[in-house]
Amino acid sequence: MPLATPRTLLGLLVVCTTLLGLIDPASATPRPKTHKVRSGESIQAALNSASRGDRIVVESGTYAEQLNITTDEISLVGRNAILIPPPTPLHNLCSGLAGKLPPNNVIETQAGICIHGSNVQLNAFEREHRKVASVGQYVKGVSVTGFTIRGFLGLNIAIVGGEDTTISDNTLTDGAFYGALTVGSKNSLIDHNTVNSSPPTPTNTFLPFIGVCMDDISTVNIKRNSISGYLIGLCVQTPGANIHDNKVENCCIGAFVDPGIVGAKLRDNVFKNTNPRCLDPAKSGSFLIYGIYIAGASETIVKDNKITGITSGENQNLGGAGLVVNDDFPIEFGGTAKVGSGNRVTDNKVKRNDLDVYVGATGQGNVVKDNRCDTSIPANICVKGD
């Protein structure tokens, strides 16, 4: 077989280069599609058929479904779409994430929308919610916006093993254990949502548990949300959590920073008014009453928040405190109690509470100064004035 000459090789190169030039690079990767779901159709069916980067637009209507999202970069957009529990629960990774339903502890809690990675391993349930032991692969870039999600006997939205997830402009109502929970995830953003509960009825006087909880492994941003009608508005279990410009009202505890959490930041939030159901043992069990409670956390920054109306009303057995910096509660679950240290609480306005500011943390480096308040323990740490 004769060898190719330099001229032949040059010709082949020109032909190959020309053919490559005819290929549109964009055609090598499928272009994102928009899927439309109309009332009476299945949102989950659209999710199942979607590819990475697709947008799913759900038109006005009420959809009795639980949704499972495991594909990267899915955008789920509701246009006056309402999501409610289906007649028969769907089992997925989020089943039992918040334990089982009392009083018999047989039926698993469920999530309205479960966003999760692959090969996620969960620890056994101990309290509050199951922890993430490991994640095989994170689901990345999912966003959910524009939905009303209500009445799930567990969680309205859960993010488990997600990365760069955005939950924005939704209304989350009556999530029995959580309005929204992000756990074992990275860089979650929960922005501009309304998280609330329905007014009490003669048969249901209890408040749901937690409005928004973050138990992630790295940065989480919780901002511009309106949270009301929960036992705890915000539960902070992520080191370095960034929580700002939220309005939390009519809860028992506005924000609770868990023991051992390092470097959480709470800035420019409003915490106001105790829910009357927190004060009645027949309703929510005379729950604790605080605006912000730092419980054995370290290096927390609490700055430029407004806290008012944290009071026990006529219930003399309870006392409401606007802002508390303390060591961990007495040990209830074993282990060693954490000591609050290095926390910096400055420039907050804490007024018209049973007690405005309480500092009981015994660790080193706690700074509580320049806060406008009237009453404090120890005394004389308030700056007077409006």
Q: Which of 187-196, 251-260, 297-306, 332-341 has the lowest mean pLDDT?
A: 332-341
* Backbone φ/ψ region at 281: left (φ over 0), alpha (ψ -120 to 50), beta: alpha
- High-pLDDT (> 90) share of the chain, %: 75
Q: 18 lies in a domain?
A: no
**pLDDT of 347-373, one tens digit each?**
999 999 999 999 999 999 999 999 999
Domain that holds residue 264: 231-386
Indicate whether 139 and 260 sit together in one domain: no
Output the CA angle 131-136-73, nearest 5 degrees.
95
The predicted structure's pLDDT at residue 127 = 86
Model pTM above 0.85: yes
How many domains are there within the chain?
Answer: 2
Residues 251 and 227: beta-carbon distance below 8 Å = yes
Q: 299 lies in a domain?
A: yes
- Looking only at the bridges linking them, the beta strands covering 376-377 and 171-173 are unpaired
The predicted structure's pLDDT at residue 143 = 98
Indicate whether 177 and 301 sit together in one domain: no
Flag whether pLDDT at 282 surpasses 80: no
Indicate whether 49 and 172 sit together in one domain: yes
Residues 274 and 313: beta-carbon distance below 8 Å = yes
The predicted structure's pLDDT at residue 277 = 85
Indicate whether 265 and 347 sit together in one domain: yes
Indicate whether 296 and 365 sit together in one domain: yes
Flag whether pLDDT at 9 surpasses 80: no
Residues 151 and 174: beta-carbon distance below 8 Å = yes
Indicate whether 261 and 371 sit together in one domain: yes
Mean pLDDT value across residues 6-19: 44
Burial of 74 (0-12, 13-18, 19+ CB in 10 A): buried
Indicate whether 191 and 294 sit together in one domain: no
Joined together, the tokens standing for residue 278 give 């927190």
Flag whether pLDDT at 333 surpasses 70: no
Distance CA 65, CA 151 (A): 12
Mean pLDDT value across residues 217-230: 95
Q: 64 lies in a domain?
A: yes
Residues 249 and 272: beta-carbon distance below 8 Å = yes
The predicted structure's pLDDT at residue 331 = 56
Distance CA 36, CA 33 (A): 10
Sheet of 376-377, strand order: 67-69, 111-116, 155-160, 178-183, 210-215, 232-236, 253-257, 290-295, 321-326, 355-359, 376-377
Indicate whether 61 and 162 sit together in one domain: yes
